[in-house]
Structure 1
């Protein structure tokens, strides 16, 4: 049985962690309706409003989610015919934040609450301000795991090193902090071998080349419509693998590769495939064609490999994508990438 008509949870959720989720679940269980508001000023890298909104909506689809920055707040006020305000700064006095939230619920959203749920010591004072100025009846405060005994983590700690505290992040949140590395290269340039070796070295997930899998399953025959299917499925598998990856995800090719083969084979490509080819990664590796060419029965020839490599160089430059050349043996390539990723993590 719900104790309250409308509950309220407010937080930065930078990032959303399992302590926040515990708080919101408790509030949801005790309230007929639940309003969740997220704002922070300044913003924190990696926790932008669009991400926070996506996390919250995915985890709590039944709640009313409001994620704000100054632009979003101004648009909301304009839509409601209310004079706009700026968000309070994180360092502003707590009383200012309490009155801001009261104004937001009462005047802008027109969603007065009768309970606030927090894991902080400001909770009772917050409830009193709402009850005195922004409610038509009592406003209760419900404290949830303030001592952090059930979920021993804070947003500040998780934000400082999301990977070290990934056990406290749900998969959808953890995935947004994974570095996505794309490995490109011409035929018989060692990209698949390198991708698998990197995943093994870093003990994380990798995404195989779906196009080759489909080609083999269809006895070496691909029709035009298959190429768009390949591009879509490649990205779907990447998104799925992100949920299981640890710090890094290594991807064998990208839809850019599929786009290349589509134009090469059919002289054209669907607009959607061209758009999928714009998919960006945190790091792109281009394998040098310095391995002896191995004909496994599926490949063209060494001249085609050289032409494909040159196409990647030109296309990456045209798109303004910075990439790193890797060369040498598999062990040498893994060492090059490991050193590179170590520098990026510092």
Structure 2
């Protein structure tokens, strides 16, 4: 059973927007757990390019890790992405999304949702695929719609990494 005292906080958005860095720093600041983006761990172990079917496996493990850590966290659980990232990416790359992912989106039940803006410069890493400004804008706008549909709203967070961290802490402390 989920620890109802723990507030689950989602940090989401397009690639290269500071999600992982900010999520980890928030967990350290609030002395609690964070859930990393499982897709990176999965891809690190994969001996081939990922495909559509891999996305459902990644989503199931991400969901499972969120549930386990929610029971173990202190006060807050910070999640570096959730199933919405996999849905948005799946529909962008493959024009479809596995039904399991869609069925489990609303079951994540986040208390606060932060959408990271694309105002930071895109930085290369081996898993990032969308450096173009146009695609980043398209994905950002897709997130706005998805987060409204799934969670009923979100806070857009922009600025430098330090500014992002400060803004999120202010909203958390007011909640």
Alignment of 1:1-20 (within 5 A): none
1:336 counterpart = 2:167: yes
1:281 counterpart = 2:110: yes
Q: Residue 264 of structure 1: SS of its match in structure 2?
A: helix
Per-residue deviation, 1:202: 0.8
Structure 1 CA distance for aligned equivalents of residues 34 and 99 of structure 2: 27
2:122 pairs with 293, 309, 316, which one? 293
1:191 counterpart = 2:13: no
The corresponding residue for 2:65 is 237
Per-residue deviation, 1:219: 4.6
1:318 counterpart = 2:146: no
| Contact map agreement 1:256 1:276 (CA 8 A) in 2 | no
Structure 2 CA distance for aligned equivalents of residues 212 and 302 of structure 1: 21
Per-residue deviation, 1:335: 1.4
Per-residue deviation, 1:233: 0.7
Per-residue deviation, 1:320: 5.5
The corresponding residue for 1:148 is none
| Contact map agreement 1:215 1:222 (CA 8 A) in 2 | yes
The corresponding residue for 2:132 is 302
Residues 204, 234 of structure 1: alpha-carbon distance in 2 compared, 3 angstrom cutoff: same
Structure 1 runs not aligned, ≥5 long: 1-53, 55-171
Structure 2 CA distance for aligned equivalents of residues 320 and 330 of structure 1: 24
The TM-score with structure 1 as length reference comes to 0.47
Per-residue deviation, 1:337: 1.5
Structure 2 CA distance for aligned equivalents of residues 319 and 206 of structure 1: 21
Structure 2 CA distance for aligned equivalents of residues 215 and 201 of structure 1: 29
Per-residue deviation, 1:322: 1.5
Higher RCO (CA 8 Å, separation ≥ 6 residues):
2
> Where do 4+ consecutive residues of structure 1 move more than 4 Å?
none
| Contact map agreement 1:188 1:305 (CA 8 A) in 2 | no
Structure 2 runs not aligned, ≥5 long: none
Residues 252, 320 of structure 1: alpha-carbon distance in 2 compared, 3 angstrom cutoff: closer
Residues 261, 284 of structure 1: alpha-carbon distance in 2 compared, 3 angstrom cutoff: same
Point out the structure with max Rg over C-alpha. Answer: 1
| Contact map agreement 1:231 1:276 (CA 8 A) in 2 | no
The TM-score with structure 2 as length reference comes to 0.90
- For the aligned residues, what is the CA RMSD? 1.7
Per-residue deviation, 1:327: 1.4
Structure 1 CA distance for aligned equivalents of residues 28 and 152 of structure 2: 26
